[in-house]
Structures are given as structure tokens and as C-alpha cells.
A and B are shown apart, each in its own frame.
Chain A
Amino acid sequence: MKVSYYPGCTLKTKAKNLEDAAVASMAALGVDFEELTRWNCCGAVHSLADDDLIHQVAPVRDLVRAMEQGSDKVVTLCSMCYNTLARANLLMRQDEVKRKTINDFMNEEKDYHGEVEVLHFLNFLRDQVGWDTVRNAVKVPLNGLKVAMYYGCTLMRPRNVAIEPIGDTRIMGEFLEAIGAAPVDFPEATTCCGSYQILANPEAAHDVSGRILESAIRAGAEAMVLSCPLCEFNLSKKQPEVLKKNKISREVPVYYFTQLLAMALGLGQEACRFDLNSECSVELLKNKNFPV
């Protein structure tokens, strides 16, 4: 069995903290985590139009790349990449007619029938690495850090690609417990952050983002983890606007889940990359006497 890692464009540009922390953590755990040598954009958003097959070409091409490199699993960190790749994979496995159309169009590539399995990093950690391995490797347990588990949409919807049964919100909790933190479930854990509405209709995006932050605070969280650069943009980069518009008085530190993993494994700044997070995120960790 060979596992390939598919990073996605944003992890190479605006979300290096999501990637660097994961890659360093895998190296520290001694897990083979090799990036695909060739890959393109995942398609970013799954096209809902039934006959819009051209937008399936990008993710399918990435799956072909993984197959070409002899992998039977491809792991992603970004929730949106996970979603587009997993849904395209499902289509190639289940819809014979569309599969033929897409394979015919991409006739410079090998035919693809869904040979590769798409995994989100959390599932990879649980099923391929194992929580015990993670737990045993922890050098800095994040004792007392109360973290809201924010899933957002694309890890959980639609049901047939959800990283765990809807309503479970277990995997992020297990992850946080493995690194010593205290997971905080909250009612808006799978509410949409506002997504691309931040461009066309920022007010509406700020409204839902505000609801999510408020809900996390009310549930007793000191911070929030997530795995999607767009959620991070709406909930963290845009947080000053969100707090102002919704009259929320407390800032909420937001981290990629991989950053907390890297910190718990005792990896340094060049791995954790808290320099790319908001100021309050760094302050909280300092106040807790974590090595940042």
C-alpha cells in the first residue's frame, strides 16, 4: 500500500501553516507522507450541475496522478480539496456513463475507475497512524486547552463523503484528546462559515461567522480548530469585522488542527507556523505557557 499526499493550491500560498505543521508532524511520527510529484487544482468547489462534467476533470486528473504513482490512497488536509476529490471519486466509482465520458475526454491519461481511496488527514491519523501512536509521541500535552471542534460543511456534507457519520463529531474530539487538549462540542460545529459569500455578500458571511464564534464561546471554548483555509479566512482573518458587526466582545483564537498536533509533538516554530495566525492565537498559547 502506498499513500500519496495531495496538498492543494491554498496550502502552498495562503495556508502554509496548515501544511507545514502536518508535514513536519508526519516526519516526527516517522510516517511516510510523500507529496504527489505532479498535481493540479482540485476544482475547489464540486459542481452540483449534473451534466457539468468538465468540472470533474480537475479532481479526476489528480486521482489519476495518484494512481500513476502507484498509490491506493490519497490524503488531503484541506476540507475543500477533500470534498471535491472524494465526490469526484464517488462519481467515477458509481456512474458508469459519466465515467466513460470523462475517461474518453481525458484520453491522454490512463482510464480511471475509482482505484484510489480519498482520505482526509483526520481519518488517516485515526486509521493508518492510530491515536495511540499519536498519544505516545506527544511531548507537550495541551493540558487544559479548551478547543471548539469546528468541522464546517465540506468535511461532513454530503453524507456519502462525510469523514464520519453526521452528528457524531467524534473524530476531532478523539484527535484533540490524543494530544491532551479538551474538546468542546458546540451547536454550530457544522454550520457553514459563509464560504465564498465573503466576496459577494460579506455582511451575510459575517452574520453566520458571528453565530459560530458566539456559539463556541458560549460552549466554554477558549479557542477553535478547523481544517479549511476558507473557514479560517472567514472566522479568523475576518474576525475583527465579524466581532464588530455582531457585537462580540471576546476574540477567539483559531488554529489549524495540524498546528496543535505539531506543537503537542514538541516541534518548533518552523513547523507550527503560528506566525501566520492572528495575534490572539499566539497570546493564548503564551498565557498557557506552551512553547511558542
Chain B
Amino acid sequence: MSHHHDSKEPKQKKKVQVATGDRAILPEGATTIPVYIMGKRYEVPETLTIMKAMEYAGFKFLRGAGCRGGICGACPTVYRKPGDYKLHFGLACQTVVEPDMYLAQIPFYPANRAAYKIEDLEPNPEIIFSLYPELFRCVACNNCTKACPMGVDVLGYISALKQGDIARAAEISFDCIQCGMCASRCMGELPQYHIAQLARRMYGRAIMPRARHLAKRVEEIESGKYDEMLKSLQTMSHGELEKRYKEREREPDMAPNGTWLPANDPYL
């Protein structure tokens, strides 16, 4: 599976080609680089993400892969680079391999999650304090923030919660994907990402302003305002539907915002 640099083949002008996509068979002349996956060396095509490089190397993901789009939080990966004592963190599906990187995936990290029924909770910081008393073990070392592959200011939201500011914590932690890397590095042993999730739930349920137009629209739907229209569409012939579609009113391209309204507006 590996294509070594030091091949004994006669020297010929190397055609530089970039490996793209997830093809397991390399295009001719594609450059490979060495990476160390859980301590073992593999030659993988450069430009691949860590996830594709691992699959190229023969790994199959049963866990540790999800959306492959950088949002599900299943593939957090920790790695080091030569000559650099720092730990680096990234999502395997989003991070491109670098020569000689040492990496391991940490698809799950144990962190206690408090049991609660969100419907029963007042949006009160005291409740968060009592469900997660570990909060106050934070020493502000900031290792959590350094470990976050999404660039969330973890210390920032933990501090906001200690200050009783649920809305701010919800805002700061919005990009959290629950991967658990913060918890893996915490010297106070906090389950940061579970605490942030509780904050966002409280915020969404009881603090965030409600959209009045949405409530109004739901009311209209429930009152049956749209029933007749839907029924007539459901029973309409294919030909009639097609005709209606073709004749539909369209907003002119590039019309400035808010300047166009359809003539047919009884359902607006």
C-alpha cells in the first residue's frame, strides 16, 4: 500500500500530479508523504484529509467517522509535528495530512453528563452550578480552548457560566460539536461540552426571544387557513400543476430586497 520515495526506478522527469478525492489507486506521479498513525508509519498521498489518508492506509471506520463534513464531532484527532512539542487538534475529516505528523483519533472521551428534564429547569445559573459543581474546579489554564478543533473559546464560556451569564455561554459555545477534546485536556476534570449543551438548551428554551411571526403563522396553519389550498393542489391534475408552475409569479432577478411582492397574496 505504500509508495516509497526512494524507488530504484530509472530517473525520469517526474510528472507532478495531485491526488484528489478518495481514490484508493493513486494517479501516476502522485506525491506521497509519511505519516504515523498510532505510532506506525504509512505512506499516504499528500492533500488527503487525515480521514481519507487513514482509509487509504487500510483503516475502516466503524466509529470515529460521521458526517465527513466537519460538523458532527465524531472524528477529533490529536497530533504532533516533528520539532514541535505542542499538541495539535483537528477533525480528521477536515485536517489535511502533513509530512511526519504523529496522530491518533479520539472518537470518544468519557465525561459525566447530568440527568435532567429540560422542561423542568428554570434558566437559572444556580441550577447549572448544582448539576455541574465541577464548574468551580476550573483554574483557567485554557488547555480546553487550545484543544478545541472548532476554535471555540471554551474557557470563555466556562467563565461566562461562572459569572451566571447563560446567554453569553450559549453564544460562545455555539460552534461546539461535542467532540470532548476540551474534557480530555482539563486538569479540573470538567465535562465542558455537556455543561455548554445545558446552557444552550436553557437559552433556547427559556431565554432566547421567541419569533412572534412564527407563532402567528403556526396559529394560522392550525386554524385551517391553508387547508383548502393544499387540498386543491393535492387533487390537481398533473397538467394543471405543470401549467401553474410555468405561469407562476417570479421575483425578478436582482430585485432589491423588499421591493417585490406577488400579486397573488391571500396566503401571505
Contact = CB atoms under 8 A, between A and B. Distances in A.
A58 B188 CA distance: 13
A55 B140 CA distance: 9
Interface in B77-131: 125-126
Interface stretch (A39-47, A174-182, A211-219, A272-280): A39-47
B87 to A, nearest CB: 13
A108 B147 CA distance: 12
Nearest to B156: A38
B127 to A, nearest CB: 12
Given A38-B156, A54-B187, A108-B146, A43 B163 contact: no
A232 B123 CA distance: 26
A57 B164 contact: no
Residue from A9, A38, A57 with most neighbouring chain B CB atoms (10 Å)? A9
A12 B140 contact: no
Interface string A1-21: 000000101001100000000
A61 B142 CA distance: 10
Contacts of A54: 139, 141, 187
Nearest to A39: B159
A55 B125 contact: no
Contacts of A108: 142, 145-146
A61 B141 CA distance: 9
A43 B159 contact: no
A119 B79 CA distance: 43
Contact of A58 (B139, B145, B163, B164): B139
Interface string B151-172: 0000110110011110000000
Given A54-B141, A58-B140, A40 B159 contact: yes
A57 B141 contact: yes
A58 B125 CA distance: 21
B33 interface: no
Residue from B140, B142, B145, B158 with most neighbouring chain A CB atoms (10 Å)? B140
A54 B145 CA distance: 16
B140 A41 contact: yes
B138 interface: yes
Contact of B162 (A41, A57, A105): A41
A41 B159 contact: yes
Contacts of A61: 140, 142
A40 B156 CA distance: 7
Interface residues of B, number: 18
Contacts of B162: 9, 40-41
Nearest to A56: B139
Interface in B171-225: 187
Contacts of B138: 40-41
A204 interface: no
B55 to A, nearest CB: 33
Interface residues of A, number: 17
A57 B140 contact: yes
A55 B137 CA distance: 11
B164 A43 contact: no
A28 interface: no
A57 B187 CA distance: 13
Interface in A98-117: 105-106, 108
A160 to B, nearest CB: 23
Contacts of B156: 38
Q: What 7 A-B pairs come out closest when comparing CB atoms? A: A58-B140, A13-B164, A40-B159, A12-B163, A40-B140, A9-B162, A9-B163
Interface of B: 125-126, 138-142, 145-146, 155-156, 158-159, 162-165, 187
Interface of A: 7, 9, 12-13, 38-41, 43, 54-55, 57-58, 61, 105-106, 108
5 contacts: A40-B140, A40-B155, A57-B140, A58-B140, A106-B142
Given A13-B125, A13-B164, A58-B139, 17 more contacts: A7-B163, A9-B159, A9-B164, A12-B164, A39-B159, A40-B140, A40-B155, A43-B139, A43-B140, A54-B187, A55-B139, A57-B139, A57-B142, A61-B140, A105-B141, A108-B145, A108-B146
